[in-house]
Structure 1
Amino acid sequence: MQRLQALVAQLRDPEHGCPWDRAQTPASLAPYALEEACEVADAIAAGDRAGLREELGDLLLQVLLQAQLAQEQGDFDLDAVMDGLADKLVRRHPHVFETPGATPPAGQWDAIKAAEQAAAGTLRSSALDGVPNGLPALVRAARIQRRAAKVGFDWRELAPVLAQVRAELDELEQAISGADPAAISDELGDVLFSVANLSRHVQTDPEQALRAATHKFERRFRQVEALSPAPLSALDEAELEHLWQQAKQLLRSQGDC
């Protein structure tokens, strides 16, 4: 860690550092942190252990750069970041560090967080406070819904959740009939939000489910391209559907579910 800190400081050196690294600010680096986190998730999903090691390093670099910039501004340094994290881990896991082997009582994590916020004078006024705006939209929708459900704002059964999805689809269809772009966008958002809520009720991560569906489509589409005797743009709808079904059958015969 000391070697990495020294390298990052050298990259930021005003005279002999890297021009790109010297030009960065916390705001300009923020998108890279999100991108690197997504690449970590991709490596995990692909089962790429070597890739995961590399991507974790790239993500760590973003932490080091942000800490270096904060140190240069006199705000805090990497030691403060690590000390704060270590203290938080100990504080939030008394069942591990104070009474090893104990079963944590229900709600312990949330109670400890609330006590921390009260002590810091940052007690949240809403159950939804603290969900980052920068999260991918689908992830944030699921997080918001979980927060609301924690305080009892939720359906107790699956049937009304499914009914809500159908109702939102009906409203989207009406908006499409009215040819109002703003209404279509609004209703489509409601459909996506209700589907994210459905995923929570059936205990499925919507981000992972959509990621898997996209990969499945990608594999099948590439197979369609390989099977097609002509450019896809030259084929009619019936020919494209026939190729799609061929691709699905071929991939299934190869063990692709």
Structure 2
Amino acid sequence: MPGRLLITGLSGTLAPHLARTAASAGWEVLGWDRRRIPTDDAVAVAAHLQASRPDAIAHLALGPTAWASGLAEYAARQDLPLLFTSTAMVFHHQPDGPHHPGDERTAQDDYGRFKIVAEDAIRAACPTARIARIGWQIDEVAQGNNMLATLDHWQREQGRIAASRCWIPACSFMPETAMALLGLLQDEAVAGRVVHLDSNAESALSFDHLVAALARRFDRQGWRIEVTEDYRHDQRLLDPQPGRIAALASRLAQKP
């Protein structure tokens, strides 16, 4: 199946992992330069897609809903696989989880609501689109929305890391997420489906235990972890077909 794979968001956190994984699997990776092709210009978007002629699209970037719709419409017309990464944040902590693909999306924050609108727009334009909901991503070096980098920042800025024992976060290591995303893109059986990718779905590690495990694994001896009960949420993303992504407990047990 490998051909030309358009990946949006290559200047971000997770997309570069997907690009490396796809390139290793034989894909020719195409990016999207927003300085040359404005995402709010439907004519420019359509022209760029016609010129680049991707064989598949993975939309990981944040951007206008109209851009997402344009990518989806093109994928539908050309009968191409389209993958969109959404988020566990489409679910509020009330009602509590764990959350399933068909559950009502209850987000109350702007980011979660934005992703709900994008999910709906993409599915309306391309009924065969794959929607992958993911949690907080973990990586040793990546910046941006990376749990490890955020924990380092909290320790530097606050002198401690407040970690709730009442929160079971949806989360995964980025390389595993990238591998799972590429698998979804290439799997015709998941066309048109919402899939949950969460390494913590089975392991069910509370945030305080997860932070302690990350401190051991990545030699963060200077972290001062303060266990709290400030946030209560079983945020896990359960899927009817588990096993698409490695379990978090086994991943944490591996050497860096």
TM over 0.5: no
TM-score range, shorter chain: under 0.3
Q: Greater relative contact order: 1 or 2 (C-alpha under 8 angstroms, separation 6 or more)?
A: 2
TM-score by length of 1: 0.21
Rg (Cα) greater in structure: 1
